[in-house]
Amino acid sequence: MNSTRLFTLIFCGILTSTASFGAGIDLDYSRSSKRQYAEVKTFLVALAKAFPQNAKLFTLGDSDSGDKILGLQIGSGAINNLVVATHHGNEYGSTEVALGFARQIAENPVKDQTVFVIPVLNITGYNAKDRRESAKGTSFDPNRNYPGPCGTEGPFTLKSTAALAKFVADKNIVTSATLHTYSPAVVYPWGISTHDLTTGYESIFKGLVADATRESHYATGNSTEVIYPADGTYEDYAFQTHGIWSILFELGYSHHPSPDEVKTAVQVNVPGIRRMLESAPMQRAEKHTFAGKCDTSLVSLDRHDE
Ligand SMILES: [Zn+2]
């Protein structure tokens, strides 16, 4: 190789890396199942640095791990929306989709919205690849840790869930996507132990889940019917307490997706999450208090595996 050719290669390499905002903001899916929270934080810092006009780091609050729960605030629109992943620490596929989504909207924010992305809520669980979160010498299922009209395993015995509840109230979050693995399905309230499943907003919710699944072709519908009843979940809490348009994503086909399966989950879900946020109402639902009857005989149907 002559020296001119070598120089051209090096120079073009520098240009290319500058144009793509440098290394560290493209996900290496071979790392998906091995990442620790420190690596997630490094990725968020790199994204904020690469797109300073659109994205900045924020702290949700302390977690029982002793670490801070971090997220990215992306865009500057007047409507505040939320994407939160990894209530369950073993569901790393949900973390990757949240990171892929943050990467996409950091480059191209959602118009008229500020979207808060929290890729990992349950830090001890994520580091240990454990569904539950450790606190006070024991552990809890974070997505049964919110108050609910038909019961809870909490409420708020974890700093993470208390911090998220305070956050959605303080920020006036209007629409929320909570990301889990795996069914695959995208569903809406009520997801609790009841036969009275309608909220009165079925046509809006059906539109949102249809928008969310145009690429993925996942199953859609009411949470209890498509998955199973579960009391004390974030998604029902957000709707019941605030009227937040609250959608639960069960992503992919496994709790142990391969790098290729993670990549596919990101590719087929990121456009849908974005479209759902773009088409969601600009204000919270007005009537959001559960008025039905709880049926405690349904509690045993909660498998605690999604
Ligand atoms: Zn889950």
**Tens of pLDDT, residues 29-56:** 999 999 999 999 999 999 999 999 999 9
| pTM (predicted TM-score) | 0.93
DSSP the chain: --HHHHHHHHHHHHHHHHHTT-TTSS--GGGTTT--HHHHHHHHHHHHHH-TTTEEEEEEEE-TTSSEEEEEEE---SEEEEEEE-SSTT-HHHHHHHHHHHHHHHHSPPTTEEEEEES-S-HHHHHHT-SSEEETTEEE-GGG-S--TT--S-SS-SHHHHHHHHHHHHTT--EEEEEE-SSSEEEES--SSBS----S-HHHHHHHHHHHTTTT--EEEEHHHHS---SS-HHHHHHHHH--EEEEEE-SS-SS--HHHHHHHHHHHHHHHHHHHHHS-SS--S--S--S-B-GGGGGG-----
Q: Cα of 24 to ligand 1 centre, how many Å?
A: 27
Domain membership flag for residue 37: no
Does residue 198 surpass a pLDDT of 50? yes
Distance 218 CA to ligand 1 centre (A): 16
> 179 C-alpha vs ligand 1 centroid, how far in Å?
8
Q: What is the CATH number of the domain that holds 161?
A: 3.40.630.10
- Quote the ligand 1 centre to 248 CA distance (angstroms): 10
Average of per-residue pLDDT across 207-229: 97
Is 207 inside a domain boundary? yes
Residue 7: pLDDT over 80: no
At residue 20 the predicted structure's pLDDT band, cuts being 50, 70 and 90, is very low
User: Domain containing 202: what range?
Assistant: 44-301
- pLDDT score recorded for residue 174: 99
In a domain, 1, yes or no: no
Domain count within the chain: 1
Interval between CA 115 and ligand 1 midpoint (Å): 21
pLDDT digits (tens, 9 = 90+) for 78-117: 999 999 999 999 999 999 999 999 999 999 999 999 999 9
**What is the chain's mean pLDDT, rounded?**
93
Ligand 1 (single-atom ion) residues, CB below 5 Å: 88, 91, 180
Does residue 77 fall inside a structural domain?
A: yes
- Separation of CA 261 and ligand 1 centre (Å): 17
Q: How confident is the model at residue 23 (pLDDT cuts 50, 70, 90)?
A: low
Is 227 inside a domain boundary?
A: yes
Is residue 26 one of the residues assigned to a domain?
no
C-alpha 89 – ligand 1 centre gap (Å): 8
CA 305 to ligand 1 centroid distance, Å: 7
How many Å lie between the centroid of ligand 1 and the Cα of residue 306? 4
CA of 246 from ligand 1 middle (Å) equals 15
Ligand 1 mean position, distance from CA 90 (Å): 8
What is the rounded average pLDDT of the residues 228-240?
Answer: 98
Distance from residue 275's CA to the centre of ligand 1 (Å): 23
Q: Is residue 4 part of a domain?
A: no
| Residue at 2 is within a domain | no
